[in-house]
């Protein structure tokens, strides 16, 4: 949509027939991300290509790069879509990550260092929004978690990350152009629930030294990767003020959705600018803001327990959230993504509250969260 508003035509490759992006694109190629015919069609008809999430096969981007401009690069996406490769890259660049161990077999868990427990066992690939990870207290629980995560695919690698005592979580959104120019948006302070981002608050209200350190780490990452495009960097802030990088996202990021309403240039417009070789836009904060994710739970939870599983959703009563109540707050901006089926934990949209002289965005989001039965 950002590309179309700037006069470009857009082709989307997505295997889902009801793809929200495909519904608004000028063309929708309904095929797998690595489908040779679809990739050949894109190479023949498009001037540039990007990806909106990191689980698109890097080989597909590599194939397109033989014929057209691709940003971010296949190399950058390959690093970000594998936790082992990602942590290895960050450490080689001299950047701080939390203590971890690579787990390739059940035996690796049995011999994992004791100081990594309690920890979080995460699939090295394909996990997101709390999926593909299990909190474990000890090695005994680790064995059961390993069996669950790798069921049917025992060759999958995992990483065991030590659970850290956190002061807060923040994220940096940064963009780098073809000319190596870089811009960053104000840092967001994030709150997660069940592994899913619940809210992002901007400004983050963190110490200036912590902010400078986080911004410098983001710049170092894009320089080390020779990255072109928008990149998200999620960071843990420890009680002593030090930082650990949790993960990087080679794309516009959920914690940057607030830029649609509260920044002079949104992360999506900036992605278009990097693809088209245009100068980067200013990232000035127009107003303080708080963004709330809207999950599929809001369609089901009305004080009663939610359905026990996704399978139950087909027969559970679906009740549309009260959008009138949400938009009764005049400083609230609602964005729904056009997904056909609400599911528990599925991101269906977001709402951003903007601060004004008379309104506190945090209070507005609290009021809206109550309407949507969304814990924050």
Q: How sure is the predictor about 127, in pLDDT bands with cuts at 50, 70 and 90?
A: confident
Alpha-carbon distances, residue 224 vs 51, 124, 127, 219, 311 (angstroms): 20, 22, 25, 9, 44
**What's the confidence (pLDDT) of residue 370?**
95
**What's the confidence (pLDDT) of residue 261?**
98
- Mean of the pLDDT values across residues 73-78? 96
pLDDT over 70 (residue 303): no
Rg (CA), the chain: 21
**What's the confidence (pLDDT) of residue 312?**
55
**What's the confidence (pLDDT) of residue 294?**
98
Q: How sure is the predictor about 188, in pLDDT bands with cuts at 50, 70 and 90?
A: very high
- Mean of the pLDDT values across residues 104-130? 88
**Contact at 8 Å (CB) between 229 and 176?**
yes
Q: How sure is the predictor about 308, in pLDDT bands with cuts at 50, 70 and 90?
A: low
* Mean pLDDT, rounded, of the chain: 93
Give bridge partners of residue 350 from the DSSP assignment.
293, 335
**What's the confidence (pLDDT) of residue 259?**
98
Alpha-carbon distances, residue 291 vs 87, 150, 176, 256 (angstroms): 29, 34, 24, 9
Mind listing the domains of the chain with CATH numbers?
A: 1-38 (no CATH), 99-162 (3.30.1490.20), 168-371 (3.30.470.20)
**What's the confidence (pLDDT) of residue 144?**
87
Distance between CA atoms of 58 and 78, rounded to whole angstroms? 5
pLDDT over 70 (residue 315): no
* Max CA pair span of the chain: 59
Please indicate whether residue 54 or residue 275 has the higher confidence score (pLDDT). Answer: 275
Q: How sure is the predictor about 286, in pLDDT bands with cuts at 50, 70 and 90?
A: very high
Distance between CA atoms of 130 and 363, rounded to whole angstroms? 27
Which two structure tokens, joined as six digits, stand for 139? 């090695």
Tokens 């899913």 map to which residue?
196
The two beta strands, 48-49 and 69-70, are parallel
Which two structure tokens, joined as six digits, stand for 105? 């077999």
Task: List alpha helices for the chain, DSSP H.
Answer: 2-5, 20-24, 36-45, 58-65, 74-80, 83-92, 106-110, 139-149, 208-225, 259-262, 267-276, 323-326, 361-371
- Mean of the pLDDT values across residues 152-164? 86
């Amino acid at each position: 949509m950002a590309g179309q508003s700037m006069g470009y035509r857009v082709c989307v490759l997505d295997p889902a027939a009801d793809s929200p992006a495909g519904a608004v694109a000028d063309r929708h190629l309904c095929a797998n991300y690595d489908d040779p015919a679809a990739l050949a069609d894109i190479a023949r008809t498009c001037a540039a290509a990007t990806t909106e999430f990191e689980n698109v096969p890097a080989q597909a981007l590599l194939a397109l790069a033989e014929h057209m401009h691709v940003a971010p690069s296949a190399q950058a996406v390959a690093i970000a879509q594998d936790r082992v490769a990602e942590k290895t890259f960050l450490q080689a660049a001299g950047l701080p990550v939390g203590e971890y161990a690579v787990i390739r077999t059940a035996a690796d868990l049995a011999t994992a260092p004791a100081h990594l427990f309690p920890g979080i066992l995460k699939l090295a690939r394909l996990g997101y929004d709390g999926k593909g990870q299990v909190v474990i207290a000890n090695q005994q629980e680790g064995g059961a978690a390993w069996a669950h995560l790798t069921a049917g695919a025992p060759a999958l690698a995992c990483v065991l990350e030590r659970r850290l005592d956190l002061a807060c979580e923040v994220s940096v959104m940064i963009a780098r152009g073809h000319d190596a120019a870089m811009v960053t948006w104000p840092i967001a302070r994030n709150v997660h629930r069940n592994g899913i981002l619940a809210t992002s608050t901007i400004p983050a209200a963190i110490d200036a030294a912590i902010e400078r350190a986080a911004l410098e780490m983001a710049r170092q990452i894009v320089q080390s990767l020779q990255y072109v495009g928008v990149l998200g960097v999620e960071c843990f802030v420890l009680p002593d003020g030090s930082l650990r990088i949790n993960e990087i996202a080679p794309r516009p990021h959920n914690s940057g959705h607030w830029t649609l309403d509260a920044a002079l240039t949104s992360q999506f417009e900036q992605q278009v600018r990097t693809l088209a070789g245009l100068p980067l836009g200013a990232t000035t904060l127009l107003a303080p803001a708080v963004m709330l994710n809207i999950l599929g739970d809001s369609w089901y939870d009305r004080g009663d327990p939610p359905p026990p599983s996704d399978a139950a959703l087909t027969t559970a009563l679906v009740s549309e959230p009260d959008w009138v109540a949400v938009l009764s707050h005049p400083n609230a901006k609602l964005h729904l993504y056009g997904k056909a089926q609400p599911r528990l934990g599925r991101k269906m949209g977001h709402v951003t509250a903007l601060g004004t002289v008379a309104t506190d965005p945090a209070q507005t989001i609290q009021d809206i969260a109550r309407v949507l039965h969304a814990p924050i």
